[in-house]
Chain A
């Protein structure tokens, strides 16, 4: 079955450490997205990419970095500059050009500070 796989499901970060969250999709979608979810705040966009080797900052990009070397993969690195990284991180993908098509989501990674 096609879908989006996020790993790991749970991740713990030490002070000063960078951690990378994995997102892989086999839906052949060109666009991929990273969201942060905090209780009561809905989803906020961190980064998005509409084509390989190109990505754009979202609303809360500070302290995060991404890469898009392959169509199927869009890893997110939470750097030590992100002072409040504890959250639920969601990856999504969609078709580009057909704006009425919904985004498809992975099952998320929950990041906590040790």
Chain B
């Protein structure tokens, strides 16, 4: 069975500093990896995905993520955090043979302080 872990319930960072939101996964095949963001009382918005190729993936709003196969990780990063980045972030994984079925991590709340 596939699973996703987001080891931090909350990440605090000062505005202008770099941020990292961690994600590790466990699958028995080639993973497709996704990051989504959720603002209060809203649905999830797609940020970026890793399918194959370059391990560094760039997405919306200046976010990027690095796929590390040996460490089974897909950490979300941004060089300079904004207060408006404060939200709930979800990592998700699907398998190439499993259709579009996603398994989500528990979410990490990002708090960016001015």
Q: Which residues of A contact B (CB under 8 A)?
A: 4, 6, 9, 31, 40-43, 45, 48, 50, 90, 92, 94-108, 110
**How many chain B residues touch the partner (CB < 8 A)?**
26
9 A-B pairs in the complex with CB atoms less than 8 angstroms apart? A31-B100, A50-B99, A90-B44, A100-B32, A102-B34, A102-B36, A102-B49, A105-B44, A108-B41
In the complex, which of the residues A101, A108, A110 contacts B100, with contact meaning CB atoms closer than 8 Å?
Answer: A101
A104 vs B49: C-alpha distance when bound (angstroms): 13
**B42 touching A107 by the CB < 8 A rule?**
yes
**Which residue of chain B has the shortest Cβ distance to A88 in the bound complex?**
B41
> B45 interface residue, CB < 8 Å from A?
yes
The 9 closest A-B pairs by CB, nearest first: A105-B43, A42-B106, A102-B46, A94-B100, A100-B51, A105-B44, A42-B104, A43-B104, A107-B43
| A40, A98, A103: residue with the most chain B Cβ atoms closer than 10 Å | A103
Nearest chain A CB to B107 CB, angstrom units: 5
With CB as the reference atom, state the residue of chain B lying closest to A90: B43
